């Protein structure tokens, strides 16, 4: 988006993965509460099946609702820059957490060996 912030008539896009994954987990959690219909013909209406979280695919969403600039572009460069910083911080945090977990495993293995 940031690279296209000056492109006329460009509409910002984002990848929606977290909500798709959350929806899959919720469908699995709610599965025990759901009614399961038994069908005798493939043309019958199927009951909702829980979604397997391993089959979740990212979905690209184009924002047509945000107000556009005079050139028809709706990318806010400042907002996109803030999103980049937030993603970098989240990545750094997750990387540090993983490194900590691996160091804990390494320490435990050294004490056993």
**Which pair of structure tokens corresponds to residue 65?**
């609702």
The answer to whether residue 29 scores a pLDDT higher than 80 is no
Task: Give Cβ neighbours of residue 44 (< 8 Å, ≥ 6 apart).
Answer: 37
Domain ranges (residues) in the chain: 76-113
Res 30 pLDDT > 70: no
Q: At 52, which helix (H) or strand (E)?
A: none
How long a stretch of residues is the chain?
Answer: 113
Mean per-residue pLDDT, 58-78: 90
57 CB contacts (<8 Å, ≥6 apart)? 20
H or E element, residue 61? strand 59-62
Task: Tell me the pTM.
Answer: 0.61
For residues 37 and 77, the model is more confident at: 77
């Amino acid at each position: 988006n940031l690279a296209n912030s000056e492109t006329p008539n460009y509409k910002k896009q984002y990848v929606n993965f977290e909500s798709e994954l959350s929806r899959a987990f919720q469908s699995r959690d709610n599965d025990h509460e759901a009614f399961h219909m038994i069908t005798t013909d493939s043309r019958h209406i199927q009951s909702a099946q829980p979604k397997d979280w391993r089959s979740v695919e990212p979905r690209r969403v184009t924002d047509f609702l945000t107000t556009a600039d005079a050139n028809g572009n709706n990318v806010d460069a400042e907002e996109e820059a803030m999103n980049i910083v937030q993603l970098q911080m989240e990545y750094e945090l997750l990387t540090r957490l993983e490194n900590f977990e691996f160091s804990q495993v390494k320490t435990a293995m050294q004490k056993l060996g």
